[in-house]
Amino acid sequence: MSEIKTVGIVGSGVIGAGWAARCLARGYNVIATDPAPGAEEIMISKIANAWPALVKIGWAKTPEPPAFAFTTDLEEVGRTADFIQENAPDRLDIKQSIFVTLDRVARPDVILASSSSGLLPSDIQEACNHPERIIIGHPFNPSYLLPLCEVVGGNKTSQEAKERAGEFYKSLSMHVLQVRKEVDGYLSDRLQEAIWREILHMVKDGVATTQELDEAIIYGPGLRWALMGVNMTFTLAGGEAGMRHMLEHFGPALELPWTHLKAPELTEELIDRMVEGTTEQAKGRTIQEWEQLRDNCLIDIMRTLRPHNIASGKTLNDDESAQLSIGTKHWTPGADVPTPLEQYSGSVLPGWVDYNGHMNEAAYLEACGWAADKLFRYVGIDEAYRDAGKSVFTVETHINYIKEVGVGEPFRISVQVLGVDDKRFHFFHQMTHAQTGDLLCTAEQLLVHVDLKASHACPFEPQVKEALDAVAAAHAALETPANVGRQMKTKG
């Protein structure tokens, strides 16, 4: 099975450009196609508009989007790409034509995915010679930022293809929902559609304006939905008895004529009301301004959920753990310990730079924190260890800023373990420029081992203590760095 290096994007609209931006930010090469006049320029513009959000969330490693290949030849994309994401208009005849062409020219192991929001994959794969590799990979707008991706297989799709597609989407920091049964509209859009139909009915009947209906979501259930969805929200509504009491208590309301599942006729009058209402809501902002405001708010919500390790915050945590695990070595008894340990390398991210054009104070500490996380994993303090109820907390940090460094400049961080006892360990980071060797900063830290359930310090587990002792013994012969124990003062 070939490694995915180049992603083919078919269609340069909002969703296609979003996929392209997300793939570029995650380090994939992209080759895109769209027969429409000016499609390449439109795609470049849309990726540029998405890029600030990708920088802010930490996926993009460059201040500007990298170049991508563009062609008007669909077959070239089919021959070149290792994974193809199609984003053409949601018409079955168009998609069938595209997939027949791609299926004919693409290698048999290349997955062909559609971003369709409702068509059945069995219909799309009907005339293809390799239908087993055709799936739906349905994202949500903005596709470069939101984590959800619904994976739907047709009646001829292999389980292997669905699993491989899921792993690819996870590499893009996405939450993958493997849809159990092939159904029109899949999961999320069916739920959205029910709300959308109710909105159209209430606007048509003069019950509420578009703004009032949006506020009914924004200030109420939408906040709960962001972390626990509908079912868990209603479970809590049932009190200690949960969902059973909720259904028994509120179930009779299901017989009341509260909702209309059938959509109203889309008359010109109704269309005018919807347009007038949303135009007033926009308050003069352009679509691009709204997109960037939306992106910034989404990022802040996702980051707010991170400390709670729930919903989209958990997706960010899982992705960070996966990225930190790449290339991480683990101590084994009897193995030589590097002196010092080269724990982390990278380049200065665009979001780390301040108004002076240099890496800011917090970013140095963040980079050293990633190096510390690598050290924890080296000695066995990883997700499984924390899940078992033990972790380490920082007691004290001293950081010295030695030299400025700008966007994209490469760096390395080494760590020297200075001391270990039953509950604490003391280590020292040195961050150097990867090309010049110049010292950029040092960070000295003291950490304490904690029982998370009891909320107090406790001895390390034996296997971790053995690893720490081995590292400390190997590092004992190293010269103590000049900045260790350095105090801040104004006079000598």
Q: Which CATH number fits domain 188-284: 1.10.340.30, 2.60.40.10, 1.10.645.10, 1.10.1040.10?
A: 1.10.1040.10
C-alpha–C-alpha distance, residues 31 and 71, integer Å: 8
Average pLDDT over residues 443-470: 96
For 155-216, the DSSP string reads TT--HHHHHHHHHHHHHTT-EEEE-SS--TTTTHHHHHHHHHHHHHHHHHTTS--HHHHHHH
Confidence band, pLDDT 50/70/90 cuts, at residue 492: low
Would you state the structure tokens that stand for residue 431, as one six-digit string? 């961050």
Q: What is the pLDDT of residue 231?
A: 87
Average pLDDT over residues 212-233: 90
Q: What is the pLDDT of residue 413?
A: 96
Mean residue pLDDT of the chain comes to: 92
188-284 and 329-475 share one CATH topology?
Answer: no
Would you state the structure tokens that stand for residue 463, as one six-digit string? 């296997």
Average pLDDT over residues 149-164: 97
Confidence band, pLDDT 50/70/90 cuts, at residue 153: very high
Confidence band, pLDDT 50/70/90 cuts, at residue 341: very high
Average pLDDT over residues 64-76: 97
CATH 3.60.20.30 fits 6-178, yes or no: no
Q: What is the pLDDT of residue 403?
A: 94
Q: What is the pLDDT of residue 85?
A: 98
- pTM for this structure? 0.84
pLDDT tens figures, 234-269:
888 888 888 888 788 877 877 777 777 788 888 899
**∠ at Cα 246 (245, 249), nearest 5°?**
80
Confidence band, pLDDT 50/70/90 cuts, at residue 322: confident
pLDDT tens figures, 7-49:
999 999 999 999 999 999 999 999 999 999 999 999 999 999 9
Domain topology for 329-475: Thiol Ester Dehydrase; Chain A (3.10.129)
Q: What is the pLDDT of residue 406?
A: 92
Contact 487, 428 (CB under 8 A): no
- Per-domain residue ranges for the chain? 6-178, 188-284, 329-475
pLDDT tens figures, 291-300:
988 898 898 8
